[in-house]
């Protein structure tokens, strides 16, 4: 019998605070396990960091590595499965990552598919070495709305609501999953969570142009070219503790200059939009349960830095396990 069966006790109501990639994944997993789920978010979807992301599977600015590896591997599997679903906006794409000349495999290699090592003779890179692999890429224009629809199709509810305190969520439910990203600074006074600004230039894919995604993370500012559907996302910047959400023309120029040097075929690609997002970075992703004096169950899931789409499903699985363990310890009533 499923948890929705008439003889099974109803699982407690859960409020998920945050309707970005992290909150939606957690809410979908909880709903799949039979919880009555409501997601509260203060922003329009388009105004979340999750709507700005290039959204390629790639561990970036997220710690600690030993936990990130497990979350990233689980998320890789889930996104690869979504790539087989029509209308998900996820596809498997070839990516070439440039490496320093004598670098070994990246630390996250164990979480990915088979990696092919390339030499300078095989691929012209400024650094002399590169790897090639297949990874999931989410076209956020399609995938982010699809996630919201998936939650609603499962019976989860989305509510626009701006919280001043997590107590407001506990007034509505005994279980709260906290996925507010940078909102954690005010909602739970977290001084560790901080913005790392990212700007991207989205261009129209020139007709017929096929190219792999390209990533170079060897410099202070990352460089990337991420094709997705009829668009190509060009980046980027990683400016720590910069919370300026305005487009910076110098960043745009620097991104376009890098692209012009490395991918001349994109030199005259038409710019569709330039976007800025603030990555919710933290010394470590916070994924843990906090015991409340009133018996409520609070599970934090935030601080995913530049890896929200890369870690979301692995983290969601852990959220569900933490909620289940906490409820098993709580007397019914």
Ligand X SMILES: Cc1cc2nc3c(=O)[nH]c(=O)nc-3n(C[C@H](O)[C@H](O)[C@H](O)COP(=O)(O)OP(=O)(O)OC[C@H]3O[C@@H](n4cnc5c(N)ncnc54)[C@H](O)[C@@H]3O)c2cc1C
Q: Of 98, 180, 203, 297, which one interacts with ligand X (CB under 6 A)?
A: 180
**DSSP class per residue in 275-304:** EEEEEEE-SS-EEEEEE-TTS-EEEEEE--
Query: 280 and 312 in contact (C-beta within 8 Å)?
Result: no
Q: Smallest distance from the beta carbon of 152 to ligand X, in angstroms?
A: 15
Q: Which is nearer to ligand X, 164 or 268 (CB)?
A: 164
Q: Candidates 44-52, 65-73, 242-250, 286-294 — which segment interacts with ligand X by CB under 6 A?
A: 44-52
Q: Which is nearer to ligand X, 269 or 316 (CB)?
A: 316
Q: Does 117 bind ligand X (CB under 6 A)?
A: no
Encoded tokens for 66? 């030993």
Q: Does 53 bind ligand X (CB under 6 A)?
A: yes
Q: Does 227 bind ligand X (CB under 6 A)?
A: no
Q: Smallest distance from the beta carbon of 233 to ligand X, in angstroms?
A: 8
Q: Which is nearer to ligand X, 147 or 326 (CB)?
A: 147
Q: Candidates 105-113, 173-181, 240-248, 256-264 — which segment interacts with ligand X by CB under 6 A?
A: 173-181
Q: Does 112 bind ligand X (CB under 6 A)?
A: no
Q: Smallest distance from the beta carbon of 232 to ligand X, in angstroms?
A: 13
Query: Nearest 5 degrees, angle CA 234-CA 240-CA 242?
Result: 85
Query: 283 and 218 in contact (C-beta within 8 Å)?
Result: no
Q: Which of 145, 79, 153, 112 is nearest to 308 (CA)?
A: 79
Instruction: For residues 150 and 38, give the distance between their C-alpha atoms in angstroms, rounded to a whole number.
Output: 13
Site for ligand X in 146-165 (CB under 6 A): 161-163
Q: Does 272 bind ligand X (CB under 6 A)?
A: no
Q: Does 258 bind ligand X (CB under 6 A)?
A: no
Q: Which is nearer to ligand X, 11 or 225 (CB)?
A: 225
Instruction: For residues 273 and 132, give the distance between their C-alpha atoms in angstroms, rounded to a whole number.
Output: 28
Backbone angles phi, psi at 51, to 5 degrees: -80, -15
Q: Does 48 bind ligand X (CB under 6 A)?
A: yes
Instruction: For residues 302 and 333, give the distance between their C-alpha atoms in angstroms, rounded to a whole number.
Output: 29
Helices vs strands, H then E, count in the chain? 7, 15
Instruction: For residues 199 and 182, give the distance between their C-alpha atoms in angstroms, rounded to a whole number.
Output: 17
Query: 39 and 18 in contact (C-beta within 8 Å)?
Result: yes
Instruction: For residues 27 and 62, give the distance between their C-alpha atoms in angstroms, rounded to a whole number.
Output: 22
Q: Smallest distance from the beta carbon of 5 to ligand X, in angstroms?
A: 32
Q: Of 40, 76, 144, 313, which one interacts with ligand X (CB under 6 A)?
A: 40
Q: Smallest distance from the beta carbon of 329 to ligand X, in angstroms?
A: 27
Q: Smallest distance from the beta carbon of 240 to ligand X, in angstroms?
A: 13
Q: Cα(first)–Cα(last) distance of the chain, in Å?
A: 22
Positions touching ligand X (CB under 6 A) are 17-23, 40-43, 48-50, 52-56, 58, 161-163, 179-181, 183, 187, 198, 200, 235-236, 277, 279-280, 302, 304-310
């Amino acid at each position: 019998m499923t948890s929705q069966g008439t003889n099974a006790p109803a699982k407690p109501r859960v409020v998920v605070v945050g309707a970005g990639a992290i909150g939606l994944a957690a809410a979908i997993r909880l709903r799949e396990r039979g919880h009555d789920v409501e997601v509260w978010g203060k922003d329009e979807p388009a105004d979340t960091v999750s709507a700005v992301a290039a959204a390629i599977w790639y561990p970036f600015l997220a710690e600690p590595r030993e936990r990130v590896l497990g979350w990233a591997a689980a998320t890789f599997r889930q996104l690869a499965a979504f790539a087989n679903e029509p209308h998900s906006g996820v596809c498997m794409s070839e990516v070439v990552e440039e490496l320093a000349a004598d670098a070994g495999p990246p630390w996250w290699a164990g979480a990915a598919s088979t990696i092919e090592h390339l030499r300078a003779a095989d691929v012209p890179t400024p650094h002399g070495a590169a790897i090639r692999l297949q990874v999931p890429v989410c076209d956020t224009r399609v995938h982010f709305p699809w996630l919201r629809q998936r939650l609603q199709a499962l019976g989860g509810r989305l509510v626009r609501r701006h919280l001043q305190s997590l107590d407001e969520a506990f007034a509505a439910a005994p279980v709260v999953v906290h996925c507010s990203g940078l909102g954690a600074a005010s909602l739970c006074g977290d001084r560790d969570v901080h913005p790392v600004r990212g700007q991207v230039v989205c261009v129209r894919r020139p007709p017929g142009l096929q190219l792999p995604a390209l990533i170079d993370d060897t410099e202070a500012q990352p460089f990337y070219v991420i094709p997705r559907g009829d668009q190509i996302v060009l980046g980027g910047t990683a400016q720590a503790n910069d919370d300026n959400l305005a487009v910076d023309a110098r960043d745009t120029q620097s991104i376009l200059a890098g692209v012009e040097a490395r991918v001349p075929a994109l030199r005259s690609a038409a710019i569709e939009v330039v976007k800025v997002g603030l990555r919710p970075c933290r010394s470590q992703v916070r994924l843990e349960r906090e015991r409340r004096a009133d018996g409520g169950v609070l599970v934090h899931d935030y601080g995913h830095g530049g890896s929200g789409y890369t870690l979301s499903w692995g983290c969601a699985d852990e959220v569900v396990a933490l909620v289940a363990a906490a409820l098993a310890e709580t007397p019914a009533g």
